[in-house]
Structures are given as structure tokens and as C-alpha cells.
Amino acid sequence: MTNSSDLGVELDQMPTHEESVRTNHDRLLTIPEAAACLSVSRSSIYRLFDAGELRWVRVCASRRVSTAEINRFIAEHTQAAS
């Protein structure tokens, strides 16, 4: 089993899941992965698709969501503290 020190990376230097999503704009996520990124259910992802709030890409018979789209969605739905 490989641990983080074997890779030359300390745990406190490893990117968080959120940072990984932000830096990997070319990755296409499955529905469960997109749901996990937004901390919502798979059903909620499909509702966001149907409402036109979250864009998707068709890959063969499957839908995928780009990490750039996840970031766009978060940015558009982030409210500043008042």
C-alpha cells in the first residue's frame, strides 16, 4: 500500500477535493461524482439538468458534467455575506 509520504507529498499539502475540482477543468464527472462535488443527491443533479441550471455533455449514452461547469454553478449560486 502506498501512502502520501511515499509520493513525496505530506497530507497537509495534498489538495482538498474542492481544490482538485477547481484545478482539473478538463475532467468530465459522472452523475454520482457531480452529486458528490455539490453534496446533493443524484436525483437533484437530474433536476438541475431539467431546470437548465446545470449543463451536461453527452458521452455515448451517458451524461457527464465538466468540472468547469461545477465551478460555474457554484460561482453563480454563491451569495456574498452581508
Share of the chain above pLDDT 90, in %: 63
CB 30, CB 79: distance < 8 Å: no
pLDDT of residue 79: 85
CB 55, CB 69: distance < 8 Å: yes
Domain ranges for the chain: 25-76
pLDDT at 50 over 90: yes
The CA dihedral of 23, 21, 54, 42, to the nearest 10 degrees, is: 170
Residue 8 phi, psi dihedral angles, 5° rounding: 80, 20
Q: Could you give the 3-state DSSP secondary structure of residue 5?
A: helix
pLDDT category, 32, cuts 50, 70, 90?
very high
- With a CB cutoff of 8 Å and minimum separation 6, the contacts of 1 are none
